[in-house]
């Protein structure tokens, strides 16, 4: 089966993940991804027509605690570590840079 991944796609994925792949790493990752995607292609060929979907466990229940009023909060904790404050908000450097 032909894998839908090529070197260009791998480089693009590495850029998106902000991962630098060196020569041998790039080749190993490329081969591993090809094997993984080939395996998914094999799975697509399975006949699942009469297979019931799995529900994922026995019984589902709420694992979250209820809302309750607390005496103290950590509001403002760590604010001293920020170098700038503007109108009561902590100011951070821009995350995205504009080409404009």
Give residue 16's pLDDT.
92
Q: CB-based burial of residue 49 (10 Å sphere; 0-12 exposed, 13-18 middle, 19+ buried)?
A: exposed
Residue 50 has pLDDT above 80, yes or no: yes
What tokens appear for 37 in the block? 């995607």
Q: What is the mean pLDDT of residues 49-57?
A: 78
How many CB atoms are located within 10 Å of the residue 53 CB? 6
The model carries a pTM of: 0.45
Average pLDDT over residues 45-69: 79
Q: Is residue 67 situated within a structural domain?
A: no
Establish if 97 belongs to a structural domain. no
Domain that holds residue 38: 7-44
30 found inside a domain: yes
The total number of structural domains that make up the chain: 1
How many Å is the Cα radius of gyration of the chain?
25
- The per-residue pLDDT for 2 is 57
Q: Residue 1 pLDDT more than 60?
A: no
């Amino acid at each position: 089966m032909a894998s839908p991944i090529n070197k260009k796609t791998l480089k693009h994925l590495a850029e998106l993940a902000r991962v630098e792949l060196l020569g041998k790493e790039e080749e190993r990752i490329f081969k591993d991804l090809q094997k993984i995607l080939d395996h998914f292609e094999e799975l697509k060929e399975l006949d699942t027509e009469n297979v019931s979907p799995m529900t994922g466990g026995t019984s589902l229940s709420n694992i979250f605690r209820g809302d309750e009023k607390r005496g103290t909060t950590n509001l403002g904790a760590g604010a001293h570590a920020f170098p700038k404050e503007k109108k009561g908000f902590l100011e951070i450097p821009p995350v995205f840079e504009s080409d404009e």
